[in-house]
Amino acid sequence: MIERRLGASGPVAGAIGLGCMGMSEFYEPVAEADAIAAIHRALEVGMTLVDTSDMYGRGENERLVGRALRDRRDTALLATKAGIVRSADDPAYRGVNGRPDYIRAACDASLERLGVDHVDVYYLHRADPNVPVEESIGALAELVAAGKVRYLGVSELNPQTLRRAAAAAPLAALQSEYSLFTRDVETNGVLATARELGIALVAYAPLGRGILTGTIRSTAALAETDLRRRVPRYDAGNFERNLALVDAFAAIARDLGCTPAQLALAWLLTQGDDVVALPGCERVAQVEENAAAAAVRLDAAGCARIGALFSPGAAAGTRLRDQRFAGR
């Protein structure tokens, strides 16, 4: 596994990490034994960045990750987040809370669920439009001073807010959606600003929430609760147009002797030594397939061929239906 540093002086992680969100919610159900086996295998193959959040499964994902890491905490770079809030009464509700008192309480609750005394990277999951980002980041910095957090990150900030956040405290990582289907960070100034500030970009949904793997041929099989039923790129009409791109991409992968998922991750890793891919993996087979992407070599011609197919804006449909959760 290739290793990359998060930020100018942050921790070192495998260039491909492990997103744990889907182990507890949002996609098809996963048996706990399968999820824990996937986390263990990820650590064995160098996917050391293990990423969760307090909102995934309303805390259940953190509990799951904590159980998986109980006897191997030192082998993982453990990341979690606070800032997106859920409701016990309305499963569909999403809100944002960046108040310092909330962040401090959320961190303590995450540490308890994870069964650890600190997390390696703690993210502000979204900026609260009602709280100056400097106040939210200040609360995160207090957690570093208290020894509860080692490094700080932010998620889905626009360039202006990212500058303000970085001025308030050192940041190791910025999480943004980034894939062949979602290249916004290349054109909206986010990636350039992160690089200027020495902040690594941790790319979530690098497989387009599964469509880039080529294994999803129809939305009919998706459960009614599946997150992708709320993603515009999976809407009728958009999905079929996007699938045509995926089929052309799969042909390139066959030419190169790898799977579409591996090629999508390999392309992402060529975008810079400051980019870390964070695919969601729920089972050992997915972990092993994705980890092998680190060995796929792409030359300039291959990158150009892929880039021409997936030029920025080529995907049909927006990446989010609720724009409150785009960059602020």
Active centre residues (catalytic): 56
- Torsion angles phi and psi, residue 18, rounded to 5: -125, 110
Rounded Cα distance, 250 and 246, in Å: 6
Secondary structure of residue 288 in the 3-state scheme = helix
Q: Helices in the chain by DSSP H: which ranges?
A: 32-44, 60-68, 100-114, 133-145, 159-168, 184-187, 190-197, 238-256, 260-269, 284-291, 300-309
Rounded Cα distance, 94 and 101, in Å: 19
- The candidate with the shortest Cα–Cα distance to 169, out of 128, 137, 143, 199, is 137
Rounded Cα distance, 45 and 1, in Å: 7
| Half-sphere exposure of residue 142: CA atoms within 13 angstroms, side-chain side | 14
Rounded Cα distance, 134 and 204, in Å: 24
Rounded Cα distance, 219 and 24, in Å: 21
| Half-sphere exposure of residue 135: CA atoms within 13 angstroms, side-chain side | 13
